[in-house]
Structure 1
Amino acid sequence: MSALRAPDDTPGTGAPGAGAPGFEATAVEGLRLSVAAVARRLGVAPATLRTWDRRYGVGPSEHRPGSHRRYAPLDMRRLELMQDALAHGASPAEAARLALAALAGETTPEPPGPRAAAPGPLVVDHDTTVSTGHRSSLPMRGAGRRAHGLARAVLALDGDSTTRQLRDSIEATGVITTWDDVARPVLRALAERWSRTGAGIELEHLLTEAITTVMAQVTMSAPPPVSARPILLGSMSGELHALPLRVLRATLAERGVQTSLLGADLPIGALAAAVARTAPAALFLWSQDDRNADPDLVGQLPRIRPRTRCYVGGPGWNPTRLPPTVVALGSLGEASNVLTAAAGL
């Protein structure tokens, strides 16, 4: 849990708002926030805060039975540490222990230890629940700890944590594994949620931007390419999905493959001009929607010397309808291996 924020020893900076104009450190130290105010600051439901207090002891340090819960600055810091740990895949119990231990040396009275409670789900908001393991409130059957940690960050609209977790996963497991096992399950769950409820498009946009940013960072930090001829990556005309191409580009860049990313919604005339101008070693075309996966258009691409091999990917393609010279690839992992070989590496 090295990414947890360490307690800030700078006077007057331990509480939200302490650095804002017009706030005095002494006034902030005496501030007590209501459950509703804390819930708004952290982006969680009030019921979640009450559960954390009742079950794990991460609540107001000086709460008295019969009185309203009021959170002091130190209480807020514990909650922020707990939220960070949850975003990185810790279970609620693990996150609470980390938060309490991290600030155990502070002078404000410690909150009581965890209270016994009947087993049951941890309430996250009014219409979803998670187990007390590493799961998030997005239904992702079979997804692992990293995917659920990423989902928590996305649901909290925490762009920094979302980007950091993607970057950490890439460093630990690589680009393709991060895409397949961490990012895709969350994207798929968000899409299903949107189709079911019509809500959450802002969550998908935040995650898409984070993936785009991280993949660009991987591409830019890769060593100079060593392949002689580039690989062209593009989407079919009318196809607006280009995120898988950015993932593929980052993987190829790590392997020293020179690429040219042409992006989404590429008119067939522009694609033909790019092929004729660059004489790429291979061309890879993505189509998410079968309405855009036109095999006849692919067959019209110019034939050049030396030969350009043509590959397609994405759920929109029907392999049985493709021309004999066009090969469908079943995954980005397969595409990265095939295109690396096509580049002569």
Structure 2
Amino acid sequence: MSEPTGVPPRAEASLTTGGVARRLGVSPTTVRSWERRYGIGPAERESGHHRRWSPADVAVLEAMCRLTARGVPPGEAARLARGAAPPVPEPEEPGGRTAPGGSNALPVGQVRPECRGLARAAVRLDTAEVSLILRRATDGLGAVTAWTEVMIPALRAAGRKWAAEGERYVEVEHLLSWHVSTALRRVADRPGQAPQGPPVLLAGMPGEQHTLPLEAVAAGLAELGLPYRMFGPAVPAEALLEAVRRTGPAAVMIWSQSRPTADRVLARRTAETAWGGRGARSRPVVLTAGPGWTGTPTGPGLLRPRDLAGALDRIGRLLTD
């Protein structure tokens, strides 16, 4: 079937500078600056018309974004993006801020370069780059540092952005959360012989849907070679208590993101749930984790870790003593 007359082929679809900026999550000013300073611009131009960016032009810009997000100076990144010969490095811009900014960027503040790159890739919805950055972060920094210094600041920035902009950035936060979860599970589920001994149970409180922090704990425990069981979000109270009786854990971490899901009665019941034969009965230590738990927990067997590193240290001592 022939193409309708007057309709350009799909492969030739093009974008304006504003459209390209929105797609890549940078400001139009940044795109124009790159075009003016480094020659990263449309290959073809029509006199008297707005510049139009072809798919090939956009691909060069995407490569430019990836390279600058990794800390490559803009001039060098431009040469690499165009497929030029090996470049001569040039100085970075003042303050080391070489990557694109503008109103579309996620404001992450003073963070590691990996976090800035992750935030920018997420805004571009660049799944390949998001995955690469997260994989390198977990492999090179370890799960704890990657979570604390790379993942959390980017996730918080995405949350603040869509809260301020309405639903405009929800897709960015969802994409980023999914890839963070994938990266953490890759660490937590590494193949090999399962660690022996009483496990740590990880569970979201009834009604609690947030599980990324628990997945970070699971990844940290896996790196330490410590056994755990992950039950995920919104675990019903009786199911949690039955899991304690069935597995005989040394510790139970129950996560609450907000105060309405922080059930102190259930926390005490969990700490009081015993297992084992007569004369050798034991009870778990319960770690109430997350911002939903305010103040200091009351009752025997209850602990309140302040951060991931502190929680892993407590758990490690419980399992090795």
The TM-score normalised by the length of structure 2 is: 0.80
Answering whether residue 233 of structure 2 is matched by residue 264 of structure 1, we say yes
Answering whether residue 113 of structure 2 is matched by residue 145 of structure 1, we say yes
- 1:81 corresponds, among 63, 84, 96, to 63
TM-superposed CA distance for 1:147, in Å, is 0.8
Answering whether residue 300 of structure 2 is matched by residue 300 of structure 1, we say no
SS in 2 for 1:283: strand
Partner of 1:191: 159
Shift in CA distance, 47/267, structure 1 to aligned 2, threshold 3 Å: same
Answering whether residue 294 of structure 2 is matched by residue 318 of structure 1, we say yes
SS in 2 for 1:249: helix
- 2:208 corresponds, among 239, 245, 265, to 239
* Alignment RMSD (CA, Å): 3.2
- 2:186 corresponds, among 207, 210, 217, to 217
Answering whether residue 314 of structure 2 is matched by residue 332 of structure 1, we say no
Shift in CA distance, 51/285, structure 1 to aligned 2, threshold 3 Å: same
Indicate conservation of the 8 Å contact 1:223/1:256, yes or no: no
Indicate conservation of the 8 Å contact 1:78/1:103, yes or no: no
Bigger CA drift: 199-208 or 51-60? 51-60
TM-superposed CA distance for 1:99, in Å, is 2.1
User: Which digits, 9 at most, give the CA deviation of each residue in 1:233-283, with x for residues without a partner?
Assistant: 011111111111111111111221111101111121111110011101111
Indicate conservation of the 8 Å contact 1:169/1:178, yes or no: yes
TM-superposed CA distance for 1:142, in Å, is 1.9
SS in 1 for 2:42: coil
**Structure 1, unpaired ranges of 5+:** 1-21, 23-27, 106-119, 130-136
Partner of 1:6: none
Partner of 1:103: 84
- 2:135 corresponds, among 152, 167, 171, to 167
Alpha-carbon distance in 2 for matches of 1:321, 1:341: 20
SS in 2 for 1:161: helix
Partner of 1:282: 251
Indicate conservation of the 8 Å contact 1:53/1:59, yes or no: yes
Partner of 1:59: 41
Shift in CA distance, 123/285, structure 1 to aligned 2, threshold 3 Å: closer
Residue type of the alignment partner of 2:68: L
- Give percent identity, aligned residues only: 36
TM-superposed CA distance for 1:343, in Å, is 2.2
SS in 1 for 2:108: coil
SS in 1 for 2:304: strand
SS in 1 for 2:320: coil
Shift in CA distance, 197/41, structure 1 to aligned 2, threshold 3 Å: closer
Indicate conservation of the 8 Å contact 1:231/1:280, yes or no: yes
**Structure 2, unpaired ranges of 5+:** 4-8, 87-96, 276-280
TM-superposed CA distance for 1:123, in Å, is 7.4
Q: Which structure has more helix as a fraction of its residues?
A: 2
Alpha-carbon distance in 1 for matches of 2:98, 2:55: 28
SS in 2 for 1:241: coil
Give the number of equivalent residue pairs: 295
Bigger CA drift: 213-222 or 39-48? 39-48
Answering whether residue 126 of structure 2 is matched by residue 155 of structure 1, we say no
TM-superposed CA distance for 1:339, in Å, is 1.5
Bigger CA drift: 274-283 or 330-339? 330-339
The TM-score normalised by the length of structure 1 is: 0.75
Residue type of the alignment partner of 2:65: Q
User: Which digits, 9 at most, give the CA deviation of each residue in 1:158-212, with x for residues without a partner?
Assistant: 2221121111111111111111111111111122222222231111111111011
Alpha-carbon distance in 1 for matches of 2:162, 2:53: 35
Residue type of the alignment partner of 2:155: L
Shift in CA distance, 42/140, structure 1 to aligned 2, threshold 3 Å: closer
Residue type of the alignment partner of 1:313: A
Indicate conservation of the 8 Å contact 1:175/1:251, yes or no: yes
